[in-house]
Amino acid sequence: MNRIRTFFLSLLIVGLILSSCISPGSPGSSEWDRPGWTLVWHDEFEGRSIDLENWTFDIGGSGWGNNERQFYTDRPENARIEEGRLVIEAREEEFLQRDYTSARLKTQGLHAWTYGRIEARMQLPYGMGIWPAFWMLGIDIEQVGWPASGEIDIMEHIGRDATHVYGTVHGPGYSGGGGVGHFTTFPAGSLSDEFHVYAIEWEPDVIRWYVDEQQYFEVTPDLLPGAWVYDHPFFIIINLAVGGNWPGAPDESTIFPQVLLVDYVRVYQQPGQVGETLGRSGTMHLGAIEVEAQDNNDGTWQAIVIITVVDANDDPVEGAQVTGGWVGAIVRGETEGLTDATGTVRLASDPSERQGEVTFCVTNVTRANMTYDKSANERNCDLVEHDSAGDE
């Protein structure tokens, strides 16, 4: 009897030790459990650097259709992992003819979902002209454009309304200032001093918005003045903008740097809902990059970059998202696009009368299930020089 008791007591002790070693963030723990939902994708930001299999960067300072004032970069000064959190930092600094820098991360070309619960735990920045956002766009945006692709704003906050967060949808017939949405309010200081969980639950004919499990808005097809365009895959975007038509410009009261902290991003789905997009696997790199000068009939000129993406066997890769930026005499223009069946994408700078040298550099290439191998590139940039005679 004593031996049996000793044996079972030993088993009990071992079981208690093992159970104490399971971290709160491990799959299967209560933190992850959500009745009726299955966790299908997540980033807890526990690595040493941003996981490029989950995220890619938008690069540029074109205003992003909103007259924003920042230049988005992929520098660690603007986006990094610290103490298990994603840090997106907006800085006041001169950078490529812009007065501010920040970052905009997205899962485009890597992961997308149709329906589900999409949530993030975040602590927001504050101040006039500060505009953090957690949102989604339809993956067909390159083909049909915005707003036909659809946009779901899970959380937006503008610094001048320090107690408000907004949830909105944009589609054909209800976009920009005509988007359909609502807001919820918090005590002063709560949004910037504390973490909150911002989420949507998205089903075929309804999208519901939540903060800390409390629903504050719901939209259905009959509430929209235009088409319901939320029945196809969407990708996630997290960014921190500075200035813009809606939040207004920073003023003397705005303190820099400002930081958006993201503890985690999680995607849950129910049985039968469509998970992340899939594609061919393997590595890819730049097969070629060439910048040319094009003279226009109105006396302006523009730079055209032609980029080819290939796999490890030098075969063309279709559907790769190429992202980069313009530097030099022209700094604005198209900065991203998808490769065609020949593995090629063609991007144009804005027209200009200013003469000089223009460079385009590729900063990232993404495609579902494929890894971008920068080390295989012969070069990441190319340039062209244009003078008043149109010589290259």
| Residues forming the active site | 151, 156
- The answer to whether 130 touches 257, Cβ cutoff 8 Å, is no
- The answer to whether 209 touches 220, Cβ cutoff 8 Å, is no
Q: Which of 112, 136, 115, 134 is nearest to 41 (CA)?
A: 112
370: amino acid identity, one letter: M
90/69 Cα distance (integer angstroms): 11
Q: Which of 240, 212, 314, 229 is nearest to 71 (CA)?
A: 240
Question: Can you say whether the dihedral through the CA atoms of 344, 229, 151, 194 is positive or negative?
Answer: negative
Q: Which of 97, 113, 95, 127 is nearest to 42 (CA)?
A: 113
197/178 Cα distance (integer angstroms): 26
E strands present in 56-195:
56-57, 70-72, 79-82, 85-95, 98-102, 104-106, 116-123, 130-138, 151-156, 164-170, 180-185
Tokens at 204, concatenated: 């075929």
Pairs from 334-337 (Cβ < 8 Å, separation ≥ 24): 335/58, 335/59, 335/60, 335/62, 336/58, 336/59, 337/142
